Amino acid sequence: MKKTLLLLALTASLSTQAATQQDIDLALAKIKNSADLQVVLNTPSALDALGDNLPQFINSVTVDQQVSFDKEILINNLTATEVYNILALFGQQTTIAQYQGAAIVTDTDRLLLNTTALPVCNAANPIELSVTLDTQKQAHFGYTQSGIECDGNVELTENTTVTYQLVNQPNSPKGLRLTGAGFTNPFDGHIDTVTVSSDGQTIQLQNNIQNPGGSKYQFIFATDENDLLLVSPDPQIIDRED
């Protein structure tokens, strides 16, 4: 009986540890605020790999509820391993899968990028959708659930209403709001209806499981930045037979 209880306790402990790994990384991060950043800049660190691009990267760093920065500066100038080491300073190393454009020079680079993939999102819960602009005014899209990043896609085995909730960040376009969704093939029978909330902050897609396969869609946004419409590059619903 004692052995069984011990095993159950250990299992629960490991499950909790896995579920909070991102929190642990953030807690152990060397850089949590502007003061921490200045301390790190005064000592040798992984940031040194940026060389002449370091000032541009530092200027892109913002500190709000969490630290954010221009990902493209890392992708365009570093190897995957160098990116990973910099992410670790901010407690964001679990997001390395988002840096697929980083250079692959060593086996470690290949390991970090080729075997790391974001999980699909859980359609049972709302999916948080964010859009941010880097210093070059390039839009970047991200998806999270309960603080864990996912790839935006969902896999379904039954009729489901999939909900995406727009979460604005300090570097999101001004007045960002959803206006609808466009489809690569709107006639494939995967999505029946699309509903956007009156404030443009939520979009719901009613799925129809009758046809196995995938349906790619793109979110359409309006902003106060200009009169042009912004279109996301993904995601998709994949209907699978149960």
Question: Would you state the pLDDT for residue 165?
Answer: 97
Q: Assess if residue 119 is contained within a domain.
A: no
Q: Find the angle CA(228)-CA(231)-CA(237) to the nearest 5 degrees.
A: 160
Residue 31 domain boundaries? 2-114
- Whether the CB-CB separation of 68 and 132 falls below 8 Å is answered with yes
Question: Would you state the pLDDT for residue 72?
Answer: 87
Q: Are residues 88 and 139 in the same domain?
A: no
Q: Give residue-wise pLDDT tens across range 137-167.
A: 888 888 998 878 888 889 888 889 999 999 9
Q: Assess if residue 122 is contained within a domain.
A: no
Q: Assess if residue 34 is contained within a domain.
A: yes
Q: Assess if residue 168 is contained within a domain.
A: yes
Q: Are residues 167 and 235 in the same domain?
A: yes
Q: Confirm whether pTM is higher than 0.75.
A: no
| Portion of the chain with pLDDT greater than 90, in percent | 45
Q: Are residues 134 and 105 in the same domain?
A: no
- Whether the CB-CB separation of 31 and 37 falls below 8 Å is answered with yes
Q: Are residues 134 and 109 in the same domain?
A: no
Which of 114, 141, 174 is the last residue in one of the domains? Answer: 114
Give the C-alpha separation, 239 to 209, whole Å.
6
Specify the pairing of strand 213-222 against strand 202-207: unpaired
Q: Assess if residue 223 is contained within a domain.
A: yes
Q: Assess if residue 143 is contained within a domain.
A: yes
Q: Are residues 26 and 104 in the same domain?
A: yes
pLDDT at residue 217 above 60?
yes
pLDDT at residue 24 above 90?
no
Residue type, 166: L
Question: Would you state the pLDDT for residue 215?
Answer: 84
Query: How many domains does the structure of the chain reveal?
Result: 2
Q: Are residues 142 and 80 in the same domain?
A: no
* 42-77 burial: b if 16+ Cβ within 10 Å, else e: eeeebbebbeeeeeebeebeebeeebbbbbbbbbeb
Q: Give residue-wise pLDDT tens across range 49-76.
A: 999 999 999 999 988 767 888 888 998 8
Q: Are residues 6 and 110 in the same domain?
A: yes
Which of 84, 114, 144 is the last residue in one of the domains? Answer: 114
Q: At what angle do helices 2-19 and 21-28 cross, to 10 degrees?
A: 60
Q: Are residues 84 and 163 in the same domain?
A: no
Strand blocks (E) in 16-174: 62-63, 67-68, 127-133, 139-145, 148-150, 154-156, 161-166
Give the C-alpha separation, 132 to 173, whole Å.
7
Q: Are residues 97 and 170 in the same domain?
A: no
Q: Give residue-wise pLDDT tens across range 87-116.
A: 999 998 888 877 878 888 998 988 888 755
* 180: CATH: 2.60.40.420
Q: Assess if residue 121 is contained within a domain.
A: no
